[in-house]
Amino acid sequence: MNQIPTTPPRRTLMPVIIGFAFAALLLFALGWLSRRARNAATAVSPSVVLIAPARDTTAGDSLTLTFSTSIPIELQQTGWGAGRYHLHTMVNTVELMPAAVDIKPIGENRYTWTVPLRDSVSTVYMLWALPNHSRVPEGASDTIVVRSSVTTPLQSHTPAVTDHSNH
């Protein structure tokens, strides 16, 4: 009997390439969903309440805020906060984030923070932010108006700077 030699079928790389492409797409999608979930607010956000000044007030070039939070805060990688949330203070359109030495605990879930004032009239309120610094309006403090003798505008996106050289 004569046998005809056969050559094995030629394999192509196309199914392998398609498989790797689908795997890469799946990993990208999972990473995107994970990041989105991490930066999403939870159903119940913590709250921050301004204790003093609780109403409109007059101040010099700085204002000491006394506030309470619905959950204890501590110094974290993302700033002073709890869990995924950290604190910011808005002074007019400038968003301030406290440095490690700026917030001082004064009792159970009560703290102080001195912020700079650079305008003769400032609106001030505190709020929470997520790890990506997106603002969480739920749980923000009431807004107060502060009249000051200072008239040097605070530049936008300038972080709060506290001079501790004489301490």
Q: Confidence class of residue 163 from pLDDT cuts 50, 70 and 90?
A: very low
How many residues are listed for the chain in this entry? 167
Q: Is 71 among the domain residues? A: yes
Q: Is 163 among the domain residues? A: no
Full-prediction pTM beyond 0.85?
no
Q: What is the pLDDT of residues 104-152, one digit of tens each?
A: 999 999 999 999 998 999 999 999 999 999 999 999 999 999 998 876 5
Domain count, the chain: 1
Give whole-number Cα distances, 37 to 40, 56, 84, 128, 132, in Å: 5, 38, 11, 17, 12
Q: What range does the domain containing 121 cover?
A: 48-148
CATH classification of the domain holding 134: 2.60.40.10
